[in-house]
């Protein structure tokens, strides 16, 4: 039985990855940062019905001693570093925390793996936000990076350090440069869940308007369930490498709103309002990924259409709100 350790196990990607690995017969361990909200921290795992199958281990990416203990305790064959301060907008208000967790947290984990489990395979969750002010119309593994937020800068440090540890120490360390991927498990602070939650609230008479920022920003949106499959496939390769995961389709926030409201039988133009308070200090206008390498080398292609994903998210938020009424 293979053993996997996942940081960020209680997040969207961590939950779907746990589900995938459990279905493949893995023993799954999740690094858990203790907090006062321990009673609700595993809500996503419970949503998927797997909370009792994932063994949670105390640890924190900012504390290398706890990482060493976790690695010794779990003896993983595969390590997936999904933990981060991952909300882009918050990174301007908390740049030092973002750097400590997202950048130095990855450094702590890489060093702990090098010292304790150098034979293990390591996955680093890189981000399309690293492309920022895009240098090419369509972004691939060879596109230069131009980060536009403290979050993206921190992710870029973690990305290049993963490459460095692979080349310096021969570690099987891969990075997945994942474009936006969403689901009903997405945090409410992210724009896609903000939209689908807003649709549900308006449909049920709990609100009348949805305040949004830049409606013309475009993103390459896929389903998180598909993307964790790509993460796993990276670590099954004989040689570690870096891969873009993306759908190759770009959609504006405005169009995402239209799809979400239309699924509930609503006209987004009657309810969506723009508010400058939600604009970023430095905007990333367009992200459009090219996943040819992942398709050819990993055999990976996204299985869920944008329309199907949006419908799933709206339906889930409608169910959540109805359950509270």
Scanning the structure block, which residue is given the tokens 């706890």?
Answer: 66
Residues of the chain above pLDDT 90, percent: 89
**Are 168 and 39 members of one domain?**
yes
CATH number of the CATH domain containing 234: 3.40.50.720
Which residues make Cβ contacts (< 8 Å) with residue 192, sequence separation at least 6? Answer: 180, 182, 186, 221, 256, 313
Alpha carbons 97 and 283: distance in angstroms, whole number? 21
Q: Is 199 part of any domain?
A: yes
- What CATH number is given to the structural domain containing 278? 3.90.25.10
Output the average pLDDT for the chain: 95
Give domain status of residue 149, yes or no: yes
Please choose, from the candidates 189, 191, 213, 211, the residue with its C-alpha nearest in 3D space to the C-alpha of residue 202.
211
Confidence of residue 37 (pLDDT cuts 50, 70, 90): low
**Does 161 fall in a domain?**
yes
Judgement on whether residues 144 and 13 belong to the same structural domain of the protein: yes
Contacts 24+ apart (CB under 8 A), 206-209: 206/321, 208/271, 209/271, 209/272, 209/273
Count of the separate structural domains present in the chain: 2
Is 293 contained in some domain?
no
Judgement on whether residues 238 and 194 belong to the same structural domain of the protein: no
Query: Does residue 206 share a domain with residue 91?
Result: no
Alpha carbons 34 and 57: distance in angstroms, whole number? 10
pLDDT for res 40: 64
- Residue 5's nearest CA partner among 65, 93, 80 is 80
Strand pairing partners for 249? none
| 295 domain residue, yes or no | no
Percent over 70 (pLDDT), the chain: 98
Model confidence band, residue 45 (pLDDT cutoffs 50, 70, 90): very high
Closest among 153, 154, 148 to 214, alpha carbons compared = 148
Q: Is 64 in the same domain as 198?
A: no
> Are residues 261 and 137 both part of a single domain?
no
**Burial bucket for residue 152 (CB in 10 Å: 0-12, 13-18, 19+):** buried
Between 87-96, 175-184, 249-258, the lowest mean confidence (pLDDT) is in: 87-96
Q: Give the pLDDT of residue 278.
A: 79
CA atoms within 13 A on the CB side of 231: 28
Structural domain includes residue 240: yes
Average pLDDT over residues 43-66: 95
Alpha carbons 23 and 146: distance in angstroms, whole number = 38
Which residue range forms the structural domain that includes residue 148? 3-181+221-245
The pLDDT value recorded for residue 36 is 45
Residues 21 and 132 in one domain: yes
**What is the dihedral sign for C-alpha 25, 28, 185, 289?**
negative
Return the ∠ at Cα 214 (arms to 139 and 217), rounded to 5°: 20
CB-based contact 178:12 (threshold 8 Å): no
Q: What is the predicted pLDDT for the residue at 295?
A: 98
pLDDT band for 117, please (50, 70, 90 cuts).
Answer: very high
What are 64-84's pLDDT values in tens digits? Answer: 999 999 999 999 999 999 998
Contact 130, 145 (CB under 8 A): yes
State whether 148 and 265 are in the same domain.
Answer: no
Domain annotation covers residue 63: yes
Residues contacting residue 20 through CB under 8 Å, at least 6 positions apart = 228, 229, 232
Measuring CA to CA, which residue among 264, 282, 265 is closest to residue 321?
A: 264
- Strand residue runs (E) in 149-271: 172-178, 181-182, 210-212, 218-219, 222-223, 242-245, 251-252
Q: Are residue 97 and residue 240 in the same domain, yes or no? A: yes
Checking if the pLDDT of 90 tops 90, the result is no
| 296 located within any domain | no
Residue 129 and residue 241 in one domain: yes
Q: What is the pLDDT of residue 39?
A: 59
Instruction: Tell me, yes or no, whether 101 and 125 share the same domain.
Output: yes
Residues 236 and 214 in one domain: no
Q: What is the per-residue pLDDT for 88?
A: 81
pLDDT by residue (tens digit) across 137-156? 999 999 999 999 999 999 99
pLDDT score recorded for residue 281: 80
- Beta 222-223 vs 181-182: how paired, if at all? parallel
Least confident of 259-263, 308-312, 321-325: 321-325
pLDDT category at 86 given cuts 50, 70, 90 is: confident
- Average pLDDT (133-137) is 95
Pairing of strands 222-223, 78-81: unpaired
pLDDT digits (tens, 9 = 90+) for 256-299: 999 999 999 999 999 999 988 877 787 788 999 999 999 999 99
Identify the band that residue 38 occupies on the pLDDT scale cut at 50, 70 and 90.
Answer: low
């Amino acid at each position: 039985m293979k053993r996997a350790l996942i940081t960020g196990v209680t997040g969207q990607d961590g939950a779907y990855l746990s589900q995938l690995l459990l279905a493949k017969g893995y023993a799954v361990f999740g690094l858990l940062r203790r907090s006062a909200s321990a009673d609700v921290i595993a809500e996503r795992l419970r949503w998927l019905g797997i909370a009792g199958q994932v063994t949670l281990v105390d640890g924190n990416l900012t504390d290398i001693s706890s990482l060493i203990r976790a690695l010794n305790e779990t003896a993983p064959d595969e390590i997936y570093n999904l933990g981060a301060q991952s909300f882009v907008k918050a990174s301007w208000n908390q740049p030092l925390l973002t750097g400590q967790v997202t950048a130095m947290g990855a450094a702590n984990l890489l060093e702990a793996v090098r010292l304790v489990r150098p034979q293990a395979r390591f996955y680093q969750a890189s981000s399309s936000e690293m492309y920022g002010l895009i240098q090419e119309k369509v972004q691939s593994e060879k596109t230069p990076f131009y980060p536009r937020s403290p979050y993206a800068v921190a992710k870029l440090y973690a990305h290049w350090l993963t490459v460095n540890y692979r080349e310096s120490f021969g570690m099987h360390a891969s990075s997945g440069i994942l474009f936006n991927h969403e689901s009903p498990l997405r945090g409410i602070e992210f724009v896609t869940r903000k939209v689908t939650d807003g649709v549900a609230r308006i449909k049920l008479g709990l609100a009348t308007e949805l305040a949004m920022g830049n409606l013309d920003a475009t993103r390459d949106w896929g389903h998180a369930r598909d993307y964790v499959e790509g993460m796993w496939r990276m670590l099954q390769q004989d040689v570690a490498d870096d891969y873009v995961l993306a759908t190759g389709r770009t959609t504006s926030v405005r169009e995402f709103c239209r799809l979400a409201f239309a699924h509930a039988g609503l006209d987004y133009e009657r309810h969506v309002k723009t508010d400058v308070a939600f604009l970023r200090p430095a905007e990333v206008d367009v992200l459009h990924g090219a996943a040819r390498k992942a398709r050819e080398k990993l055999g990976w292609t996204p299985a869920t259409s944008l329309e199907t994903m949006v419908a799933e998210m709206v339906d889930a938020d409608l169910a959540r709100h109805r359950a509270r009424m």
